[in-house]
Structure 1
Amino acid sequence: MVSRILAVACLGALLAGAAHAVDPAGSKPQYGRWGFDQAGADPATRPGDNFFRYANGTWLDRTPIPADKPAVSLRLAMTDLTEQRLHELMEASAHAAAPATGLDGKVGAFYQSYMDEARINALGAKPIAAQLDAVRKATTREAQAALMGRTSVDFEGALFNLAMDVDLKDTKHYAVYVTQGGLGLPDRDYYLKPEFARQKAAYEAYVTRLLTLVDWPHAEAAAKDVVAFETAIAQASWSKVEQRDPVAMYNPVSVAELQQMTPGFAWAGYLKSAQLGDLQRIVVAEKTAFPRLAALYARTPVATIQAWQAARIADNAAYYLSQPFQDAYFEMHDKTLTGQQQQAVRWKRAVHAVSGGDCGIGERLDCFGNLGWGVGQLYTAKYFPASSKAKIEELVANLKAAYRVRIEKLDWMGPQTRQEALRKLDTYTIKVGYPDHPRDYANVSVRSDDLAGNVLRAAAADWSYYVGRLNGAVDRSDWIMTPQTNDAYNGSLRDIVFPAAILQPPIFDPDADPAINYGAIGGVIGHELTHGFDDQGRKIDADGALRDWWTAADARAFDERARKLGAQYDAFEPLPGVHINGNLTMGENIADLGGLTLALDAYHASLHGKPAPVIDGLTGDQRVFLGWAQAWRGKLTDDAIRRQVTSDPHSPRGFRVNGPVRNIDAWYQAFGVQAGDKLYLAPEQRVRIW
């Protein structure tokens, strides 16, 4: 036990050293004098009534949401900085005095192809003419199913989506997973719930506009058929909450069994087009939805399926086509669905097109047809030195040791489950900054005058990479987020990954007070560690396999605590009449509570029994909580909130602060929160999980 306590103390030394070292230039924190922007706080708000506003209220009142964004936050400011750096890299590559070669040259040429607005506008819909012609010629459902198999390498849509990941029952090998698809709106609720009638009507108008732009016959009538078809898909599909159960979502079958299960869909042609014609085994996700979707497909007129596919192609390609397509895309996806008032300037769209985003969380646009991993190599080479990587790796490893101490002290977990939990914790690999092995783009052809072609060739290279390794051993060094992504994740490889772009203020500032860093980056690290033990992660064992390793009593104890936490979030109301879904957000809420609790423990251990310094009248515990609250400083448009609550497993940012703190005893003591305050919970009502 002593060695583990010492390991936690080392984290304190690491953070303290980073925070208090004074360089010759006299470095200062980015926010405030010691890492927290006190001018943005609202001391008029009682901490116990709304801690998020107490920490951030003045900033919230004085900071407008930019017209070209659906939100404003300090995290978005981090993304803006990364975006500006990527812009400079791409501009330099695109306009070098001598033509850039290699990866630099390809990134620059891709960027230049997006910035050639005159050429793109002159082309109109020509870049997707071949795809649309193929749709017109595919006059049977079998032929249409074969087109859907191209969705990973082209602009087509699909009723069923393919992915490749570690096999959850055979973790030394990969598996092909197939999930429900077919929807153009963010979630089935947008088709089925009356509160989204405005968005659904706008979507039908959008489909009409797309079909008109591609000269599809009888565009308005066809759009009505397309939306009716997607509404039926929504009715047959699983909800986001149902999709959160990893046991229910793992249903391995042979391809022959899949065909028997869904006789209305031609899987042979679909899989052949996906370069998986020899596949024998596949993991079905939403098992009970598949027969319903296949039966719907079998009775839908081919003409409707053709119009639907034409709309999907135009929608998936719109970001790379002429201005009328881009305007239509913006009006629907950004303005109607998120409340963004103004389209981003072209260079920002170009940066996104070349760089991509997070395939695990983002939409298809973020992870389809870009040079994201190559851009990440250029970005980290300039902005994330090896010394930073080593520092954060040490920090994360020591916080992992702190988590071990916490698991050993849990009062509700028995010894058998505890032993398995500790074994699982020990298997986690921490990955920081960027992958150890760069992606090879040597065979990807990129032209400065062929944007759509660049997108498709990059997509084909990505899919070929994953298909090519399907029958090999699992690559434990793999990443699913590019280094320039402002996020972190706990993955199927039992890896916890912190890309370079998230390691900036206010998440991590080497010149800030240690307590602020504990609350911010410490809370994020703890959050990702806790994901391995949330309501989904706890069903995966130390080998990464889907297995129940809990005793019945411990599972009941966990589930009871999770239910109590879910009920708390169900009661939160971000907008009048709009409630958080505690079941949809359960994993993230558990991770937020665990992360902040662990960060506070680690901060205490770092003090070596000494009292925390008081800064500007604030105790160490107060500053830890303020560091967490500042990390979530921001706000969204009402439409963006509605979309998030409906389809996103994360709670809106204010509740990622107020939700966890009200369950931590130390917060009550730190800020004098008492009965009668709006966030107050009696001790027996507070949820303690990890």
Structure 2
Amino acid sequence: MRLKIVLLGASAFASIAAPAFAQTAPAPRPVTAVNAGKPELGTFGFDTAGMDRSVAPGDNFDAFASGTWKKTNPIPADRSSYGMFTRLDDLSTERSRAILEEAARTPGTRIGDLYASFVDQAAVDAKGAAPLKPTLAAIDAAKTKPALAAEMGKLARIGVPTPFRLGVGQDDRNPETYIVSMGQGGLGLPDRDYYLKTDPKLVEARTAYAGYLTKLFALAGLPNGAARAQAVIAFETKLAQVQWTRIDSRDAVKTYNKWSAADFAQKAPGFDWAKYLAATGVNGQTQFLVAQPTAFTGSAAVIAATPLNVLQDYMKLRAINRFAPYLSQPFVDASFAFNSTQLQGTPQNRDRWKRGVALVNGQVGEDLGKIYVAKYFPPEAKAQADLLVKNVIAAMGDRIDALTWMAPETKVKARAKLAAFRAKIGYPDTWRDYSALKIDRNDLLGNVQRATAFEFQRDLNKLGKPLDREEWGMTPTTINAYANFGMNEIVFPAAILQPPFFDPNADPAVNYGGIGAVIGHEISHHFDDQGSQYDSTGKLTEWWTPKDVAQFKALTGQLVAQYDKYEPIPGLHVQGGLTLGENIGDLAGLTAAYGAYQKSLGGKPAPVIDGMTGDQRFYLGWAQVWRRNDREAALRQQLLTDPHSPAEQRANVVRNLDPWYAAYKPKPGEKLYLAPAERVRIW
């Protein structure tokens, strides 16, 4: 499907005066403490004990700010990485557990029954593979390829991957309208590169994958698993060969391709599209967005050339893998051993109650979130976050006014886009209605399938209706944030608005460097290489002058080249083209947050605290957010598949910012030092 939402996670000031047409932004109001109490971390909101002052800031600012923390905070056995996001996730999970255990004491509550159905391991184990049998029998009953295409459509409704992903979103060129959006999919390994590259670690992953699929066949009671697994892998490899790269797949223009219902059979023959689409429930639609047209053509041809029994085995394995975490312990163990240990390096599965919390949050998260925010997100915190958003938006307006490379007429439009922003903070104003969803505390797999189908149908029900601007793409207990291009909005769930991101009792410098830069990051996504192609109404359109576009691409090209040089694992580099949007978000967001912080001082110097200036504390606030340790396997997967750069490179984006040089005095020859002409300045 098309990329509409970009997640958090994970240039210096121009000297020219603002042009005459620009309106002067109001001075930000100060962000003050809700309670005159002590900050949670350190004396001013930053954990100075976690610093490693033996490292020069100019060699590695991430290590300087967080080196001791990294050495003294090993990754827990049930995690593939550990950092500030996981620290808050642990807190959110603990709080959610208390809510769910209380709810589970009274049968009949949706969140309590769903949680109870998961944590009752004895009941799940007693059923063995039986809950899976109807799904496998339905695949076996599809005795022809058209019948299997129909079954694929049914399985897609309950979350089983097929070679073609399908959902409902805004039409990028007509954003007041919903449309069915489709994209390539269906691989059992994380990315096409895992099938096609010869890196020894990827070869190792392929070998382990064959063993895993063989194990799934055995657990499901299906014979000749090894040979059948190899046939499925050969099929998936052919799919991988025709799929687009992740870099091409994030291009908003390349992936906007409108097909009619009749186009599928003509442009991608070899697959029964009519039966597939009818089974998903979208057979009445006349227009579709297809993200990777050549991949659809190629995948349909691969399906046409593949024997029916191999296609059936492929769908069986996709179903078993999808539902293994909700079956008996042997299935859980097999899934974890491959998907978590092999691919991410995690040695130990999370406690069952933690996985139960994650299930509830993922399936009926707004039911849980409604109780969570009532307990843990006071109105004062929401008001403080709202004020920070307003201040950073104003600072971004200042950045636009000061640009030297953008035409005045384009600046007017950019300002209009900024003025049209909507910030959603904490939780939805209108909660999702799950009343039609049946949850049975004695039927875990059925609950998962019904909840997934409920959400799938909820999306389909949007078609032909007015745009729902109140919908949220994250639950309140999620530790993340996002920007939605089509809605022209930025969204910050309640659970991320806590230390170290935001502490109402912390020094404002740290809050601006933490949550302020996160806010700036999400704002800046609307002006990154993809978001910048959407106008103030959320429409994908050309609103820049050709000269603006050329100069912007020259600047972003410099950032791509800078990140391409980073080599977190020997022989494996950051993909500057894949991570460009996030890197722009970090660079521009931190710049805007710094401007907001400076304006909040009202022309007065910031106080010196613990021997540190305000600017020094601001950048430490940013670095603290990105404290993280990664297992090598998880880092490898991130480098191959994730549009976010690793945490160390995110912290070290400061090397492009002139005020950081003034604050920390890095010297030529130090590893992060860039001469002024080499520093990337975009927004």
TM range (shorter): over 0.9
Does residue 45 in structure 1 map to residue 55 in structure 2?
yes
* Equivalent in the alignment of 1:362: none
| Partner residue in 2 for 1:399 | 392
Counterpart-to-counterpart distance in 2, 1:273 and 1:387: 48
The correspondence of residues 674-689 of structure 1 with structure 2, limited to 5 A, is: 674-689=667-682
Residue equivalent to 1:655: 649
- How far is the alpha carbon of 1:4 from its aligned partner? 6.8
SS, match of residue 491 in structure 2: strand
Task: Tell me which of 144, 164, 168 is aligned to 1:164.
Answer: 168
Give runs of aligned pairs for residues 309-348 of structure 1, distance below 5 A.
309-348=315-354
Equivalent of residue 638 in structure 1, options 614, 619, 632 = 632
Q: Determine the C-alpha separation between the residues in 2 that align with 1:64 and 1:490.
A: 32
| 1:471 is the counterpart of 2:464 | yes
Deviations 1:288-320 (A, max 9, x none): 211111100000011110111110010000110
Contact 2:74 2:629 survives alignment (8 Å): no
Question: Alignment partner for residue 379 of structure 1, among 368, 372, 375?
Answer: 372
2:206 alignment partner, SS class: helix
Look up the match of 1:242: 248
The whole-number CA distance in structure 1 between the counterparts of 2:159 and 2:497 is: 34
The residue number in structure 1 matching 2:586 is: 592
Task: Give the count of matched residue pairs.
Answer: 661
Equivalent-residue separation in structure 1 for 2:366 and 2:237 (angstroms): 36
* Contact 2:344/2:631 (8 A) holds in 1: yes
* 1-structure distance, mates of 2:583, 2:154: 37
Identical counterparts, % of pairs = 45
Aligned amino acid, residue 148 of structure 2: Q
1:54 aligned to 2:92?
no
Partner of residue 435, structure 2 = 442
How far is 1:154 from its partner? 2.0
- Report if the CA contact (8 A) 2:159-2:452 is conserved: no
**TM-score of the pair, normalised by structure 1:** 0.94
Which residue of structure 2 aligns with residue 363 of structure 1? none
Is the 1:49–1:679 Cα contact (8 Å) retained in structure 2? yes
d(CA) in 2 for partners of 1:567, 1:656: 15
Deviates more, 1:554-563 or 1:375-384: 375-384
User: 110, 113, 119: which is aligned to 1:115?
Assistant: 119
The answer on 1:666 being equivalent to 2:659 is yes
Query: In structure 1, the residue corresponding to 2:528 is in which secondary structure?
Result: coil
Rate the CA distance shift 1:374–1:153 in 2: closer, same or farther, 3 A: farther
Q: How does 1:77-88 map to 2 (within 5 A)?
A: 77-88=87-98
| Cα deviation 1:379-437 (Å, max 9, x = unaligned) | 11221133322332232122212211211111111112111111111111110011111
1: CA distance, partners of 2:447 / 2:342: 29
Q: Contact (CA 8 Å) 2:168, 2:179: kept in 1 or not?
A: yes
CA distance in 2, matches of 1:576, 1:277: 49
Letter in 2 for 1:31: L
Cα distance between partner residues in 1 of 2:161 and 2:677: 50
Query: Where do 1:353-502 residues align within 5 Å?
Result: 353-356=359-362, 370-491=363-484, 492-502=486-496
Q: 1:107 to 1:242 in 2, by over 3 A?
A: same
Deviation at 1:119, TM superposition (A): 1.2
For 2:253 and 2:195, the matched residues in 1 are separated by 27
Q: Tell me, yes or no, if structure 1 residue 18 matches structure 2 residue 48.
A: no
Residues 1:132 and 2:112 aligned together: no
1:255 and 2:261 correspond: yes
Q: Judge conservation of contact 1:485–1:499 (CA < 8 Å) in 2.
A: yes
- Residue 119 of structure 2 contacts residue 352 of structure 2 at CA under 8 Å; is this kept in 1? yes
Q: C-alpha deviations, 1:35-89, integer Å up to 9, x for none?
A: 1111100000000000000000011111111111011112211010000011111
Asked if structure 2 preserves the Cα contact closer than 8 Å seen for 1:5 and 1:605, the reply is no
Cα shift readout 1:149-187 (whole Å, capped 9, x = no counterpart): 124432533110101111101111101101001101111
Distance in 1, matches of 2:562 and 2:117, equals 50
Corresponding residue SS for 1:388 = helix
Whether contact under 8 Å (1:4, 1:402) holds in the other structure is: no
One-letter amino acid matched to 1:446: I
| Letter matched to residue 579 of structure 1 | H
Q: Within 1, Cα distance between the matches of 2:596 and 2:263?
A: 51
Quote the residue 1:94 is aligned against. 104
Does the 8 Å contact 1:155/1:312 carry over to 2? no
- Normalising to structure 2: TM-score of the pair? 0.95
Q: 1:419 & 1:149 partners in 2: Cα distance? A: 46
Between stretches 410-419 and 643-652, larger displacement belongs to 410-419
> What CA deviation, in whole Å up to 9, does each residue of 1:100-133 have, x standing for no partner?
65xxx11011100001111111111111111100
| 8 Å CA contact retained: 2:25, 2:398 | no
CA contact (8 A) 2:80 2:634 kept: yes
Greater RCO (CA < 8 Å, at least 6 residues apart)? 2
User: 1:65 corresponds to which residue?
Assistant: 75
Q: For structure 2, which runs of at least 5 residues remain unmatched after alignment?
A: 1-17
Q: Which residue does 1:273 correspond to in 2?
A: 279
Aligned equivalent of 1:174, options 173, 178, 197: 178
Tell me which residue corresponds to 1:220: 226
Equivalent residues in 2 for 1:289-304 (5 A)? Answer: 289-304=295-310
Q: Retained in 1: the 8 A contact 2:192–2:245?
A: yes
Deviations, residues 505-558 of structure 1 (Å, cap 9, x unaligned): 000011111100010011000000000000011111111111111111111111
Residue 90 of structure 1 deviates from its aligned partner by 0.6
Letter in 2 for 1:524: V
Q: 1:559 aligns with which of 553, 556, 560?
A: 553
Residue 28 of structure 2 contacts residue 394 of structure 2 at CA under 8 Å; is this kept in 1? Answer: no
Distance 1:259 1:373, change over 3 A: farther
Would you say the 8 A contact 1:152–1:459 is kept in 2? no
Superposed CA RMSD in Å reads: 1.4
Secondary structure of the corresponding residue to residue 482 of structure 1: coil
Equivalent-residue separation in structure 2 for 1:30 and 1:464 (angstroms): 43
Contact residue 147 and residue 156 of structure 1 kept, 8 A: no
| 1:662–1:681 contact (8 Å) kept in structure 2 | yes
CA distance in structure 2 between the aligned counterparts of 1:301 and 1:288, rounded to whole angstroms: 22
Contact 2:567 2:573 in 1 (8 A): yes
Report which stretch shifted further, 122-131 or 81-90.
Answer: 122-131
Match of 2:26 in 1: 7
Query: What's the CA shift for 1:217?
Result: 2.8
Question: Which secondary structure state, in structure 1, belongs to the residue aligned with residue 154 of structure 2?
Answer: coil
Q: Does the alignment pair 1:142 with 2:146?
A: yes
The one of 566, 586, 593 equivalent to 1:572 is 566
The one-letter amino acid paired with 2:264 is L
SS of the equivalent of 2:460 reads helix
Alignment correspondent of 2:10: none
C-alpha deviations, 1:221-262, integer Å up to 9, x for none?
A: 000011111111111100100101100101011010122111
Which residue in 1 is equivalent to 2:13? none
Q: Match of 1:69, as an amino acid?
A: R
- Distance (whole Å) between structure 1 residues aligned to residue 545 and residue 626 of structure 2: 36
State whether structure 2 residue 217 is matched by structure 1 residue 207: no
| Inter-partner Cα distance in structure 2 for 1:277 and 1:144 | 17
- Aligned-partner Cα distance in 2 for 1:150–1:541: 37
Distance 1:656 1:87, change over 3 A: same
Separation of aligned partners in 1, 2:259 and 2:494: 39
